[in-house]
Chain A
Amino acid sequence: MSDISANGPASAGKPRVSILGQSARMKSRNRVEGIFKTLGLTAILFSLAILALMIFTIFRDGSSAFFQTRAAFPITLSAEIIDPAGNRNRDDLTKQTTMTYNKVLNEAFLAALAAQGIKTDDVPEKEITAMISKGAAGEIRADVLADPSLVGQTIEANIVLGGRIDGYMKGRVTRESAERDSNVTMGQLDIADRMKEAGMLATVWNWDFITNTDSSDTRPETAGLGVAILGSAYMMFLVLIMCVPVGVAASIYLEEFAPKNKWTDLIEVNIANLAAVPSIVYGILGLAIFINILGGQMGVEALKMSASLVGALVLSLQTLPTIIIATRSAIRAVPPSIRDAALGIGASKMQTVFHHVLPLAMPGILTGTILGLASALGETAPLLLIGMVAFVANYPAAPWDGGFSDPATALPVQVYSWASRSDPAFIERSNGAIIVLLVFLLIMNVTAIILRRRFERRW
């Protein structure tokens, strides 16, 4: 009977179409569907492309910071000049400043160029000696002071060259850009080319970038991350020992013991809000309370501007909500049956928590802790306010010598302070510092992921 109704007079006027084909309206609806889906995919691809671009530019501009152009030539450390007293006594040797060593270094450099048969008569002598980094004489001096027996000998030294020559060898400085740059002359670039041909120049792995202290604006080539890495390590250690016990204890209380009343509600709302407070506000807190009140008015000596202890206190307060939130969810994930079993065989509430719940929640707590530390490691803004952006020329002392209250800086702060210097050579350093920072973050995050994968339990 259905045949009749299908071929009835009602449909006689319309063209017959298969239901498998699409009407014009359906086609446009499906087109919209396709566009919508493409937009979603585009949003994701665009975000990831920007991320890739950013990481690419960092590695493109920053990886060269791990290499340094050095010139190899012999230097005769003439005893008459360096040790006029003639007794190799360290105290007498310290009287000779880097000026003296500069003279020795310059003469040795010119002599080495002549010995290699490099044509130098078309470039003023002053320009040639200016190719050597201003920090090189200090390095030689430090070597001599560390080993006074070097005096009078001829050493094969690898001398750091200036930032522009270094940039020229790495391709960052070109002849066109050098023309507009008052810090480098064409003559110096010519000499650099000739030295390279003669095999005097080599771009070698640069440990100094990891270990040196920061250096002044005029010599980017000797600036290093030593103080920043040490400062960050100190702060991470302090955050770990201050923040984690408190965070875990607070979570245990809130999750296992706290009575449900207004007071604990207040604490919970409070923690949620603290997690959303802008980081710079924590910097203001640190400046006002730790430095001005406790350090200044109450006279606590350890709390000073730029001290890693103050930085760690600020970062601890900032990381605390993150750790509490992560720990609470880890504790909550332990099934009640575990608690019931422990209580059932006579454990006290406290024993249940410390002997059973906490060990089972440990992988989750560790993961949350590592992620919290990773975000603390990258935090910059609050540290600016407590003076960690200041120029620090000396390493902080060891922790047992009060190093936690010595001036220090941190990796992300070093990125910022190099980026704000006028010399473009510091941008390379800044990107290099980011690479170091990202490597640390990567290690921490991968550890967290492995922990989670390995120990995560589904009940």
Chain B
Amino acid sequence: MTVLPLLMILAVLAAAGFILGRQRALALAGGDTKKLHSLPAYYGWHAAIMAFVPAFCALIVWLLIQPFFIERAALSQLPAAVLEDSTASTLAMADVRRVAAGLDTAVAQGAMTEAAIETMDATVTDLRGELGKVGVALGSAVSSEVLAAAKQYRESVASASVVRAVVIILIAVAALARALKLTAPDFWARNRVEKVVLWLLMLASLIAILTTVGIIWSLLSESFNFFSQYPIGDFFFGLTWNPKFGGGSDLGFIPLFWGTIYITIIALLVAVPLGLFAAIYLAEYASKRTRAWVKPMIEVIAGIPTVVYGLFALITVGPFLRDFFAAPMGLGNSAASVMTAGIVIGLLNIPFISSLSDDIINAVPQSLRDGAFGLGSTKSETIRQVVLPAALPGVAGAILMGASRAIGETMIVVMGAGAAAKLSLNPFEAMTTMTVKIVGQLTGDTDFNSPETLVAFALGMTLFVITLLLNVMAVWIVRKYREQYE
């Protein structure tokens, strides 16, 4: 029995538990709900939870453990020479699994019978051809050891699933019986149900932690794998990026880092003045009506998917910069360039910088402004000499967050910056960034054992650390600033 029907049985048991638990509680109270400690539905929920949760947990544990035992049983059929080499045994196990899945498909489609598989001999039957007919493609002919292992695998899976179904259903029924036995008018059903709900709520909040753990773990483990194949010094201080598929690649990080930083600087040069001036105007000059209209319109810029900006960079901004700036000035004729990507990321970041700065400027106490006005300064003098200095730490935090977003931006640089890793000062030249190379190395056919693929994880790790540091720094600066007024 596969997992899905089993889950359905558990659900049915839980539903039955709800009805039985509720009825039993009512019956014991003689139909008078006032004699019950909790509302009748809580007794139902209690029985349902008891029927479902322990069995479900057992099922999860079983599913996690089962593969190890089944693989061990199947591997015992393979020759000892294969078992000694861990890569060979992993590959052999993959073959076994594929053959077993193929046999399952063949049986499901009626091309083979269980009896035929039982007596099948790999030296006589062309299993690869047979399975090809039912649409299962195998890489090579099936050896008799693999076939034996596959038969063993199927048998263990089949018997395990029967045992599993029996055990799980028994657990569910036993727990349900216990719940019904516990049900009594003075049984605190509500408290127990609420405890379970509380646990569920807590588990949900743990998922956020698990995500972080998952991110760090996936980045770290594969990065270690990479650094065991490629020297860490050559990665962080290498000046050339030249992956080759035959091996012997140069995977230097510096050109990618330079491209990333250069694009980020240009993006900030665009976003900071525009965003800051927009924020100042909205916060200090605009009437309430204007503000109510303009602010959401600027936010629209942030709501448009980045791939749209990527296309804008690719077909509008890139060619425009090439035809009107780069080519006349003799700085190259590439539409994809640092300038293209930088400007478009800058545009995307305007609403981000402006809404953060807007909040910060609004948080500057009115008394400071009134003081400056009282001394006779004009509005712009007040802003430049009183409001902005007071808001400076917060604005600096916003800029750092903007930088972090620019560094992590992917689609715009993939479509607008080019793919050539170069160390150059010419902003109209195509350069590339960390995110572009992560996408480049991980899309298409990837082999998870070559440094050319694994380098993406090292790049991801570096990217994660850089953006995290920038964000932490930004939050720290903003917090420090807030304490001065509150």
Contact = CB atoms under 8 A, between A and B. Distances in A.
Interface size class of B (residues with CB under 8 A): 35 or more
A284 B457 contact: yes
Interface class of chain B by DSSP = helix
Interface stretch (B11-19, B272-280, B367-375): B272-280
A381 B204 contact: no
Contacts of A44: 277-278, 281-282, 294, 298
Interface in B184-198: 190, 194, 197-198
Given A288-B222, A298-B67, A257 B311 contact: no
Contact of B298 (A41, A48, A247, A427): A48
B327 interface: no
Contact of A434 (B273, B275, B311): B311
Given A40-B277, A48-B297, A384-B439, A276 B204 contact: no
A415 B442 contact: no
A244 B204 CA distance: 11
Contact of B201 (A51, A253, A378): A253
Given A43-B277, A384-B443, A427-B315, 10 more contacts: A33-B381, A53-B316, A249-B203, A267-B208, A277-B408, A278-B463, A283-B442, A378-B305, A419-B311, A434-B308
Given A44-B298, A273-B471, A441 B305 contact: yes
Given A289-B218, A348-B190, A380-B305, A43 B411 contact: no
Given A278-B467, A430-B311, A250 B303 contact: no
Contact of A276 (B284, B380, B471): B471
A51 B435 CA distance: 25
Contact of B347 (A47, A271, A324, A415): A47
Interface string B270-300: 0001111110111011000000001001101
A443 to B, nearest CB: 13
A30 B467 CA distance: 42
B407 A324 contact: no
B376 to A, nearest CB: 10
Contact of B411 (A257, A298, A380): A380
Contacts of B305: 377-380, 412, 437, 441
B410 interface: yes
Contacts of A257: 198, 201-202
A381 B218 contact: no
B128 interface: no
A387 B439 CA distance: 11
Interface class of chain A by DSSP = helix
Contact of B218 (A277, A284, A321): A284
B439 A280 contact: yes
Interface of A: 29-30, 32-33, 36-37, 39-44, 46-48, 50-51, 53-54, 57-58, 61, 245-247, 249-250, 252-254, 257-258, 266-267, 270-274, 276-285, 287-289, 292, 298-299, 317, 320-321, 324, 348-350, 374-375, 377-381, 384-385, 387, 389, 412-413, 415-416, 419-420, 427, 430-431, 434, 437-438, 441, 445
Given A380-B305, A427-B315, A437-B305, A29 B214 contact: no
A287 B274 contact: no
A381 B350 contact: no
A225 to B, nearest CB: 14
20 contacts: A32-B380, A33-B380, A36-B383, A37-B380, A40-B280, A40-B282, A43-B273, A48-B297, A54-B309, A58-B308, A273-B468, A276-B405, A280-B439, A320-B207, A348-B194, A379-B305, A381-B435, A419-B311, A419-B415, A430-B311
B25 interface: no
B165 interface: no
A277, A284, A434, most chain B CB atoms within 10 A: A284
Nearest to B472: A273
Given A47-B298, A279-B408, A437-B305, A30 B201 contact: no
Contacts of B285: 37, 40-41
A212 to B, nearest CB: 21
Nearest to B281: A40
B49 interface: no
A205 to B, nearest CB: 24
B143 to A, nearest CB: 21
Given A270-B212, A278-B435, A250 B307 contact: no
Contacts of B468: 273, 276-277
Q: 7 closest A-B pairs (Cβ-Cβ)?
A: A278-B408, A378-B305, A40-B281, A288-B218, A249-B204, A43-B277, A36-B380
A42 B300 contact: no
A257 B310 CA distance: 44
Nearest to B198: A257
Contacts of B405: 276, 278
B445 to A, nearest CB: 10
B245 to A, nearest CB: 19
A32 to B, nearest CB: 6
Nearest to B275: A43
Contacts of B303: 374-375, 441, 445
Given A272-B475, A274-B211, A415-B307, A246 B298 contact: no
A64 B305 CA distance: 21
Contacts of B309: 54
B361 to A, nearest CB: 12
Nearest to B381: A29
Interface in B220-236: 221-222
A39 B277 contact: yes
A252, A298, A385, most chain B CB atoms within 10 A: A385
A253 B202 contact: yes
A233 to B, nearest CB: 16
B204 A350 contact: no
Interface in B439-474: 439, 442-443, 448, 456-457, 460, 463-464, 467-468, 471-472
Contact of B460 (A40, A249, A281, A384): A281
B204 A250 contact: yes
B422 interface: no
B274 A416 contact: no
Given A57-B316, A250-B201, A416-B310, A281 B282 contact: no
Contact of A280 (B200, B297, B460): B460
Given A266-B209, A289-B214, A350 B415 contact: no
A48 B284 CA distance: 19
B205 interface: yes
B162 to A, nearest CB: 19
A374 B304 CA distance: 9
Nearest to B208: A271
Contact of B312 (A57, A250, A299, A438): A57
B347 A50 contact: yes
A387 to B, nearest CB: 8
